[in-house]
Amino acid sequence: MQRSVLCSVFGSAFGSLLLLPALAQAQSAATASTPDLNGIWQAMNTANWELEAHAAEAGPIASLGALLAVPAGVAYVVEDNIPYLPAALEKRQANRLQRWTADPEIKCYMPGVPRANYLPYPFQIVQGADTILMSYEFADAVRTVHMQDPGPAPAKSWMGWNVGHWEGNSLVVEITDQNNQTWLDRSGNFHSDKLHVTERYTPMGSDMLLYEATLTDPEVFAAAWTIRMPLYRRKEANAQLIEFKCIPFAESVLYDAIGR
């Protein structure tokens, strides 16, 4: 049953991806005064490995040498460190010790926000006046940003309830009602289902966005904190999202323990 539910969820997300050509026609509905965010975007950094500054280290399989080694990275946390509550910091440390088996990315779960934006895969923005679609290559994840108040979320979900507005030339998105089944990176940084994310997408030229996300979670963090990084528009002539249905790759992780 669990397998059929997961396939249904991911199949439904890919179905939304197939609607992209039709949704692209809504681009003309966006007002001329708002920035054009349409396109394929991607982060080019090590944030998915760890949001805080970290040194390079060996990967989980010694015989593969450098192949799965962790690259060193700078901090994408504006405050340098994530302000965990004491009990939550213990859980984060436990997550890190189990990261090669416990990271939800291994299981092909939808990545949640903000992690979806700095996975090592591109994502597409299709911009309309009333809604903005963000579709992700990884796990066929998708989210709809409502540019008018849609009311309360019907339920908690992997990619949350997304409500946006413009502040000058910045797209601001408030994300609530995510579940607690995603991590913020591969090093075990995590959140609860009380997470509130405020994203800002600000153009820094024609093909770069300054991406900022402020995270508030009273069950996990002692204070709000912010990540900041650039996102780049893919400029290849054939730039596109290519299907990456990873459930078949994760089946042994998901089901071997319970039998198939």
| CATH number of the domain where residue 163 is located | 2.40.128.20
Lowest mean pLDDT among 42-56, 66-80, 211-225, 243-257: 243-257
Q: What are the structure tokens assigned to 214, written together? A: 């402020």
**Mean pLDDT within 6-28:** 49
Residue 233 lies in a domain: yes
Lowest mean pLDDT among 22-26, 31-35, 91-95, 182-186: 22-26
Residue 138 lies in a domain: yes
170 or 20: which leads in pLDDT:
170
Question: CB–CB of 36/132 below 8 Å?
Answer: no
Q: Is the pLDDT of residue 202 over 90?
A: yes
Q: Please report the pLDDT score of residue 251 as a whole number.
A: 86
d(CA 178, CA 160): 4
Residue 67 lies in a domain: no
Residue 64 lies in a domain: no
Range of the domain at 209: 2-54+72-255
Residue 8 lies in a domain: yes
Residue 61 lies in a domain: no
Q: What total number of domains does the chain contain?
A: 1
Q: Please report the pLDDT score of residue 4 as a whole number.
A: 44
Residue 122 lies in a domain: yes
d(CA 221, CA 192): 10
- What is the sign of the dihedral through the CA atoms of 94, 191, 253 and 240? negative
Q: List, for residues 137-172, the tens digit of each pLDDT value.
A: 999 999 999 999 999 999 999 999 999 999 999 999
Q: List, for residues 58-71, the tens digit of each pLDDT value.
A: 999 999 999 989 99
Q: Please report the pLDDT score of residue 14 as a whole number.
A: 47
Lowest mean pLDDT among 18-22, 44-48, 213-217: 18-22
Core vs surface per residue 15-45: b (16+ CB within 10 A) or e = ebbeeeeebeebeeebeeeebebbbbbbbeb
Q: Please report the pLDDT score of residue 245 as a whole number.
A: 87
d(CA 152, CA 40): 30
Q: List, for residues 218-237, the tens digit of each pLDDT value.
A: 999 999 999 999 999 999 99
CB atoms within 10 A of CB 139: 27
Residue 17 lies in a domain: yes
Q: Please report the pLDDT score of residue 3 as a whole number.
A: 42
CA diameter of the chain: 56
Instruction: For residue 6, name the pLDDT band (cuts at 50, 70, 90).
Output: very low
Q: Please report the pLDDT score of residue 19 as a whole number.
A: 54
